[in-house]
Structure formats: C-alpha cells, structure tokens
Amino acid sequence: METAIVSITDDRQGKEAIREKIHAAGQIIRQGGLVAFPTETVYGLGADALNPLASGRIYEAKGRPSDNPLIIHISNMEDLEKIVRKVPEQARKLAEKFWPGPLTMIFEKSGIVPLETTGGLQTVAVRMPNHPAALLLIRSGGGYVAAPSANASGKPSPTRAEHVAEDMKGKIPMILDGGPVGIGIESTIVDFSEEIPMILRPGCITAKMIQEVIGEVRMDPGLAAENPEAPPKAPGMKYRHYAPKADLILVAGSKEKVQEKINELAEKAAKEGKSVGVIGTEETKDGYQYGTVKSIGTRKDAASIARHLYGILREFDQLDVEIIYSESFSESGIGQAIKNRMLKAAGHQMIEV
Ligand code: TXA
Ligand code: MG
C-alpha cells in the first residue's frame, strides 16, 4: 500500500487547503480506513471506532495484541453520552476542567461501541484531544475515532510524522503531518468504572491537579513496580513498552555521583566493544566522556524532557546503539509520568548511587 504523507502545517498553503486535506482524511476513516494524525500528546492511528472491521485494521497495522483496548476520540461533550452508559458527576467536572486536553477517562460502554474496539471489555476509554487538526479530523471522520499511539506495538510512541512513517509506511493509506507534538507523552488515564476514580496511566495532568477538582483519586497499585501479582489495570501498561532496541539502564542519585557512575559504566561497555549511548541534559551533557551523548532537555523545564524522550530513544535505535545509560529525573509534576515511561522502557533496570 502506498502511504501518502500529507502536510497540514501552515507554511505556504492556506487554511482552506488544510481543511480540505483533513476532510479527505476524514473520508478515509468513514470508509473504514486508517489515518495517522497529530494530537497534543503523541501521534494517533485513527479508525472509525464504531466499525469493528476498521478497529481490527488498527490491531493488524500495529501488531497489537487484540486484548489491548483502544481510546475513542471525540470532538464535543454531546457525543460522549452516546458511547457510555452514564457520565459520573466527577467525570463531568474533570471534562469541564481538562477537555479538550491530555486526559482519557474510562466509563461503562453503551451498546453501540463494538467489543473489537474495547478489546472485549464492557468499559470504554474516551478522550477529547486539544489539537485543532485532530478535532476537525474526528468531526470529518464521523465523530468517533479510535486511536492508539501510531507506533508499531512495543516501540516508543511517535512524536513526529517521521516516526509514524518509520513504523507504518506501506501499512496505512495516509499520515497527516502536523509537525512535532507539544507534550510528547501519552494522556493521563482515569478509570471511573471503580468506586473511587483510579489513575491507570500517569501523564501531564497529575494526580494533584485531578484531586483539586474531584477530591479523592487513587493510583493503580499495579503501576508501582514490575509485579506479576498486581498487574496494571490498563492492559497496555503491562507490556514492555515504549522500548528502544537497546538495553536501557537508569542511574539515579546526586548529579556528581550519577555522572561518575555513567562514565564508569559507559567506559566499561565501550572497552568491551559495545556501542554505547548516554542520555544527559543541557546541564550535564559536557561531563560525559564515552559513547554517543544526547541531551534530552533541560532540568529547568521538565516538559522539555517529556517532549524529547521518545524521539531520543528512536534516534539511538537508528544508530544501532546496544546499551543506553540515562540519568533519571525529578518525580514532581509531569516527572511522575516521565519516570513511569522511562522505567518501562528500561524494563525497570535502575541503579541507585
Ligand atoms: O495520549 C494518548 O492517549 C494517545 C493519543 C493518540 O490520544 N493514545 C494512546 O493510546 O496512548 P494507546 O492505545 O497507545 O494507549 C491506551 C491505553 C492502553 O494502555 C490501554 O490498555 C488503555 O489505554 N485502555 C484503553 N481502554 C481501556 C479500558 N477500557 N480499560 C482499561 N484500560 C484501557
Ligand atoms: Mg501506545
């Protein structure tokens, strides 16, 4: 299959030309096809959520296990009522505060949502993304767009159209290229099918921000560790995921000790003939002597670290690096989501110094 990569950024083309392109993409979705598109978090791989055959094509293109449910993307509040049994008051409050935005909520599904979209579950995950092109695509595509991240299953989520092309070229008819995304890690997931709302995946909307709106919220205990007795409740969180081809090892501790340890480990691996990568920051990158050193962002701005994380892992993949040593970062604010994704990418390998 030929994959069209269609630019929807505002350089020389007019707004009307962009609208027409997105509208054409919407027609592909209405006809049961797949379109990758930008959102504010990561690129999504969209299909008509109410068409079981279309959802099936997503699993096929990604190589995704069929028990891993998809998020349905909507463009307005009225459309929510049709796909869920009821909207709890607290969920309504979160929607008012954070939608459109990087928040996904899980509800009991209504009859029109096929089990193929929900991985066989009676619940459905819903999000209204904060991205004008995504919202227009959802409307042109019929109002309900199922979209996981547009990576091949197991790979880091795509934060640029080029990343989508790496994984999806030849498998889908169209990629809408809206340039690099703003946030860079996936939405926060809050499950309202529990008595007390539960965070199944941390993201840039933090537990504290949610508590300020609805009071009590719990963290899925399965997120805490690689623990087979308490698997995470979101099926997708149990896979080794967000992962580069190389072995990733996190090093935590004070700045000086971390640098010393990473230099020591990188030197040893390099002397063993391995191809080594190091993930540092603007503040620390000049202190590393071995391997290919990349800065992930600045410690003064955690959002910059989130934005570059997946792109850096993909860059190391392209260099065929075999082992990556990375600094680890503060867990406050979006830091908790960054830590969650890095630990998963590392298969929970972390050295404390
Ligand atoms: O930011 C995002 O959420 C991006 C963009 C494209 O919107 N999408 C995304 O989708 O990250 P995906 O499929 O890569 O991750 C969805 C996660 C998976 O871990 C899945 O298991 C979980 O949500 N999930 C979906 N429906 C669920 C449900 N009914 N119950 C529990 N977990 C669910
Ligand atoms: Mg994903």
> What tens digit of pLDDT does each residue of 23-72 get?
999 999 999 999 999 999 999 999 999 999 999 999 999 999 999 999 99
72-77 mean pLDDT = 98
Shared-domain flag, residues 17 and 102:
yes
175 and 86 belong to one structural domain: yes
Alpha-carbon torsion 112, 118, 124, 125, what sign? negative
Parent domain of 18:
4-223
- pLDDT at position 241 is 67
pLDDT beyond 90 at 12: no
Structural domain includes residue 345: yes
CA distances 2 to 150, 169, 258, Å, are 17, 8, 47
From the CA of 233, give the closest atom in ligand 1. 31
Out of 189, 223, 257, a domain closes at 223
The percentage of the chain sitting over the pLDDT mark of 70, rounded to a whole number, equals: 98
Do residue 255 and residue 210 come from a single domain?
A: no
Atom in ligand 1 nearest the alpha carbon of residue 104: 3
Write the residue with the smallest CA distance to atom 19 of ligand 1. Answer: 236
pLDDT of residue 225: 66
Contact status, residue 234 vs residue 148, Cβ threshold 8 Å: no
Q: 3-class DSSP state for residue 65?
A: coil
CATH, residue 278: 3.40.50.11030
Among residues 207, 223, 239, the one where a domain terminates is: 223
Counted residue by residue, the chain has a size of 353
**Band of pLDDT at residue 152, cut at 50, 70 and 90:** very high
Distance 316 CA to ligand 1 centre (A): 26
Percent of the chain with pLDDT over 90: 89
Say if residue 36 is in the same domain as residue 172. Answer: yes
- Among 162, 189, 223, the domain-final residue is 223
Pairing of strands 218-219, 198-201: parallel
pLDDT surpasses 80 at 186: yes
| Sheet with strand 323-327: strands edge to edge | 292-295, 276-280, 323-327, 247-252, 350-352
Same domain, residue pair 187 and 154: yes
Q: Is the model's pLDDT at 129 over the cut of 80?
A: yes
Assigned domain for 299 exists: yes
Residues with CB under 5 A from ligand 2 (ion): 149
Our count of domains for the chain comes to: 2
pLDDT at 176 over 90: yes
Judge if 115 and 152 occupy the same domain: yes
Does one domain contain both 78 and 189?
Answer: yes
Nearest in space to 267 (alpha carbons), one of 297, 288, 236, 298? 288
Residue 256 sits in the same domain as residue 156: no
Q: What is the mean pLDDT of the chain?
A: 95
Same domain membership, residue 138 and residue 95: yes
Q: Looking at the predicted structure, is the pLDDT value of residue 149 above 80?
A: yes
In a domain, 156, yes or no: yes
Q: How far is the CA of 190 from the centre of ligand 1 (A)?
A: 11
Lowest mean pLDDT among 155-159, 250-254, 330-334, 335-339: 330-334
> Has this prediction a pTM greater than 0.85?
yes
Structure confidence at residue 232 as a pLDDT band (50, 70, 90): confident
